[in-house]
Amino acid sequence: MLDAAQAQLAAHLEVPAGRLRIALPLTFGRRCVAPILFEIAQRFPHLTLDLSFNDRRVDLVPEGIDLAIQVGDRDDRVGLVARRLYVQRWVVCAAAAYLDRHGRPQTIDDLEHHALIVYGRDGFVSPWFIPDAAARSRQYVPRGRIVLGDGEPMLDAALAGCGITYLPTWFIANELSSGRLERLLSPDSVEGRPVHAIWPATRTLAPKVRFVVDELVRRFSSPSWETT
């Protein structure tokens, strides 16, 4: 009853209110989306957030999810609406301690002579996309000395001086700005997978969903980590 009353109030005032169930990817959701949602919650006391964090692709309607943030290609299932929020950007990087010992690669081919920390699962290693001398993105399939299936230990290994890695700028913004990690091969980052907001198609979009999506689009239009 309380949720229904808050939803009626929201519809009248066009402000976010009531319970909003949002599914977020684990690391990107915690680091980049949740802080924005917490700010929204502070501004609108009648809005109740119910957040879940998981990297699986949720089934919104059966699971009762109002909104999902998904990394990767847009969800084209019937009955869903998608809006692009952001396109990830990636850089090749390493700790100064490693580079001082082993040198700084000047070309993509130089990577063959370095220890690489790569993302891999079930025998598949994710390729790196690196700008060449003509600023064209070149696909490079790394041979990893250390293969890890999660970004957190990849970052830990890089900071420990174990080698060169390839990570998204939102994930390593603090390490780049502090100098704990150095960009390599190109000052320009490379576009990676997009991030979308996904919600069930309805005749009238609830104010709470519309407001949150619009605010996320606004905030991701110029994220702070891309100025690092």
> Tens digit of pLDDT for each residue in 74-112?
767 778 899 999 999 999 999 999 999 999 999 899 999
Which secondary structure element, helix H or strand E, spans residue 184, and what is its range?
A: strand 182-184
- Of residues 40 and 136, the one with the higher pLDDT is 40
What confidence category does residue 26 fall into, taking pLDDT thresholds of 50, 70 and 90? Answer: very high
Domains 2-87+192-227 and 89-190 share a fold: yes
Q: Which two tokens stand for residue 186?
A: 């190109």
- Topology of domain 89-190 in CATH is D-Maltodextrin-Binding Protein; domain 2 (3.40.190)
The per-residue pLDDT for 84 is 94
The structural domains of the chain, with segments of one domain joined by +, span: 2-87+192-227, 89-190
Catalogue the E-assigned strands of 72-127.
80-94, 117-121, 124-125
Q: Give, rounded to a whole angstrom, the gap between the first and last alpha carbons of the chain.
A: 47
Tell which residue, 113, 90, 118, has the closest CA to residue 103. 113
Q: What mean pLDDT is predicted for residues 33-61?
A: 93
- For the 2-87+192-227 domain, the top CATH level (class) is alpha beta
**178 Cβ contact partners less than 8 Å away, ≥ 6 residues apart:** none
Task: For residue range 159-193, list pLDDT tens digits in order.
Answer: 999 999 999 999 999 999 999 999 999 888 888 88
Predicted confidence at residue 168, as pLDDT, reads 95
